[in-house]
Amino acid sequence: MTKKIMKKINKKALDNPIFSYSQLDENNSFLLLWGTEGVGFGEFTFYYNEENLMCCASEYMDPEFVKQALCAMVDNCRFTEFGEINEVSKPVEAINIDKEPIEVKHSELERADDNSSFRSDCPVCKDGVLLVQRDQSNFKLLAEDHCVLCGQKFIYSDIEELRERER
Ligand SMILES: [Zn+2]
């Protein structure tokens, strides 16, 4: 929000904000890595699914925990104005969403970070990540996955080995 708008703002509305929307930017993904004493560590990925609904891949942590992690992130921030932000990466919008699925071996993909044994860099757009999806009814890892950024679909040919690792 700019200072110009700030001046015109109704003080009451600012004290008790009613958010009419909150959304992700054109990069279509927001990742929060967290670690706590006693609970361990994990990651929350906010993204839009294929139906354009905002989702949070929370690794089974409940919404209240996610909220607390977000609050902790804000508390840890140094607040700046405009102008200090480095040029953000250029927008990509699910450009590969309609392409044929690509068969890959999860074990041969580059892991996106050291904290997760599941997250991989997207071998197609290089900027997005594959999270590995789970069946919502039985929590089994799914062979089908897609890049959260470019939308490219993938099929893990070694899904059985991946499932085996969780046993
Ligand atoms: Zn991609």
Domain that holds residue 126: 102-165
Percentage of residues in the chain with pLDDT exceeding 90?
Answer: 35
Distance 127 CA to ligand 1 centre (A): 6
> Which is more confident, 78 or 110?
110
Mean confidence (pLDDT) of the chain = 84
Report yes or no on 112 lying in a domain: yes
Task: State in Å: Cα 54 to ligand 1 middle.
Answer: 18
pLDDT of 4 reads: 58
pTM assigned to the model: 0.49
Domain count, the chain: 1
Tell me the residue ranges of DSSP E strands in the chain. 29-36, 40-48, 54-57, 102-104, 120-121, 129-130, 144-146, 153-156
In a domain, 61, yes or no: no
In angstroms, what is the span from residue 92 Cα to ligand 1's centroid? 9
Specify if 129 maps to a domain: yes
pLDDT digits (tens, 9 = 90+) for 6-26: 666 777 888 888 888 888 877
